[in-house]
Amino acid sequence: MPHSWDPQRYLTYADERGRPFVDLLSRVAAAAPAVVVDLGCGPGNLTRLLVERWPRAVVSGLDSSPEMIAAARSTEPRAAFEVADLREWTPEPGSVDVLVSNATLQWVPGHLELLPTLLRAVRPGGWLAFQVPANFDQPSHTLRAELADLPPYDEHTRGIASPASHDAAVYLGALSVLGCDVDAWETTYLHVLTGDDPVFTWVSGTGARPTLEALPPDLRTDFERDFKQRLRAAYPTRAGRVVLPFRRVFVVAQAPA
């Protein structure tokens, strides 16, 4: 079931969402790449970091969301952006020096099988780097799924997009078999959030968005009320702050020379 993205909602916690991207890039040892591609570039605020790090490179970004690409084009005019599904992306083999994907592959069913295709786009000795959320067992996801399975919501939420990822060791194994030198690790961030229902604000811009868009307006209002109530109990406010633990998996692979 298709859904749209809201760049402004997504950017509500831009600093917190951007930190994993910075941590990922810190382990990419490309000195002077000529071609850099950002798969799932979103609103382009992080693609800008690629342009700034490698100013001589041709930097491009792809995203399946027209809304995100429109925002990206206004955010970073030095990069080229295109609306495209990464599953259908067909660059020349070995044409990319650095291929980056930040918090995108979790939305691609069976993305582990896509890794050989992505790696073929990378030149010998080039870099494939990605990070994916790995917190799908946490209340921010499980409470949404449990509520969506209840009537009257369930008849509208069957078959919605559901993100998923693997442990770091799985990605390491898959890329090592392909001859890559792989650095894979995980980090749990403790995001300290403020404001009214901050965890709902966070998830409504990402993981919960397909569920919310699948509901008609009247049921969406009821769902949001019930979901917020459950999230408040799972993530209590203390001294005006809410702590959101967020586990992420990182992979930096250098293609065989």
Chain center to CA of 79: 19
233 contacts: CB under 8 Å, gap ≥ 6: none
pLDDT tens figures, 57-95? 999 999 999 999 999 999 999 999 999 999 999 999 999
Distance between CA atoms of residues 187 and 143, nearest Å = 23
Residues whose CB is less than 8 angstroms from the CB of residue 117 and which lie 6 or more positions away in sequence, other chains included: none
Question: Residue type at 155?
Answer: E
pTM for the whole structure: 0.93
d(CA 152, CA 158): 12
> What CATH architecture does domain 7-254 belong to?
3-Layer(aba) Sandwich (3.40)
pLDDT recorded at residue 1? 45
User: What band does 138 get if pLDDT is binned at 50, 70 and 90?
Assistant: very high
75-84, 186-195, 204-213: which has the minimum mean pLDDT? 204-213
Q: Quick one: pLDDT band at residue 14, thresholds 50, 70, 90? A: confident
235 Cβ contact list (under 8 Å, min separation 6): 139, 140, 199, 242, 243, 244
In this model, does residue 173 exceed pLDDT 50?
A: yes
- Inform me whether the pLDDT recorded for 3 exceeds 80: no
Q: How far apart are the first and last CA of the chain?
A: 41
Between 244 and 5, the more confident residue is 244
Whether 130 contacts 251, CB under 8 Å: yes
Cα 17-174-167 angle, rounded to 5 deg:
45
